[in-house]
Amino acid sequence: MAELLEKKFWGNTVEEYFLAASILIVAIVIIFLIKTIVLRRFRKKCKNQQQRVSLEFIVRNVNRFIIPALCLGSIYMALEFLSFGPKADKIINVIYVIIASWFALRFIITAIDISLNNYFQKFKGKEDSKKVKPLISFINFFVWITGLLFLLDNLGFQISTIVAGLGITGIAVALAAQALLGDLFSYFVIFFDRPFEIGDFIVFDGFSGSIEKIGIKTTKLRSLSGEQLIVANSKLTNTLLRNYKRMEKRRIVFNINVTYKTTTEQLKLIPQLVKGIIKSFELTEFDRGNFQQFGDSSLVFEFVYFILSSDYNLYMDTQEKINLGVYEQFQKSGIEFAFPSRSIFINEVEKQK
């Protein structure tokens, strides 16, 4: 028996072939147990649809990464007991490193993708989970480049020259595409800082519109007159921007001018009349109303109130109703609105005899 185990075929003994085969058989048994017994028991414990969906996700990733990793590891361990010559062993080692690196990079990218999507769906919302795709693409590109450099280093290549070349190329590309890179980084600023979101109404540099789409380079808006505005992301992050969608309540200031013929009793009545009209609406909050000043041709009252909404149409409808109510009450009270006018007084001078 010992003599049989010591016999060599293609540079390896029967004992070494037996050990390699044993490792493969054990690996096959373990993989079979994972795919059948363990996963089937998990399926039986699933009581609702959400648990089944989670299990299917786990099963899919186990078949995608764990099973191939176990197969690759078992084959590598089995081949460690065998030798086919220096050149063949080197080729096998290179192939193993490339395949292992590919699976490792795929696993890292998938883990990052799943983690970011779950985070943004849970804490930020579905809209942000859609906008995270460009960020994931950028991270994936960085992971692949880094993994490729590590792979070349493990295979014995001198990557210092490559890294230096990439650095010089990167500087040249950065100088040639400053505007593009500026818009790209501005996209990340918009994504993380969130100065506005899709559906927000913003005003900047004399332009205004509702956000329709936030892209990697540009943001698209729909103006009030109907046309589409396409603005570079860097312009939006480098300018003063007003976001009216974030406004919790709108402060309104308006004046009412009455004539100098208005009596004292009527002047005292005006703030109470206007206050009552403003407070009669559900989404209004009265702040103050005062006899502000003596104007050139009128007595000026100033009123301040809040609309408890950012809806511009609601503000205009409410202001219209307030104006109509003021006009109606002034008619009933005999109060006259003033308009720009000028009085001229002529003194007659007695002619000299």
At 160 the pLDDT is 65
Evaluate whether 322 touches 278 at the Cβ level (below 8 Å).
yes
Amino acid (1-letter code) at residue 314: L
**Cβ atoms within 10 Å of 104's Cβ, excluding its own:** 15
CA separation for the pair 219, 235 (Å, rounded): 10
Q: Is pLDDT above 80 for 115? A: no
pTM of the model: 0.50
CA separation for the pair 218, 184 (Å, rounded): 9
At 37, the pLDDT band (50, 70, 90 cuts) reads: low
Q: Alpha helices of the chain — where are they, by DSSP H?
A: 2-6, 14-33, 39-45, 49-61, 67-80, 86-119, 126-131, 133-154, 159-176, 178-193, 233-237, 264-279, 312-333
The predicted model gives 18-30 an average pLDDT of 75
Q: Is pLDDT above 70 for 149? A: yes
At 229, the pLDDT band (50, 70, 90 cuts) reads: very high
At 120 the pLDDT is 65
DSSP 104-132: HHHHHHHHHHHHHHHHIIIII-HHHHHHT
At 331, the pLDDT band (50, 70, 90 cuts) reads: very high
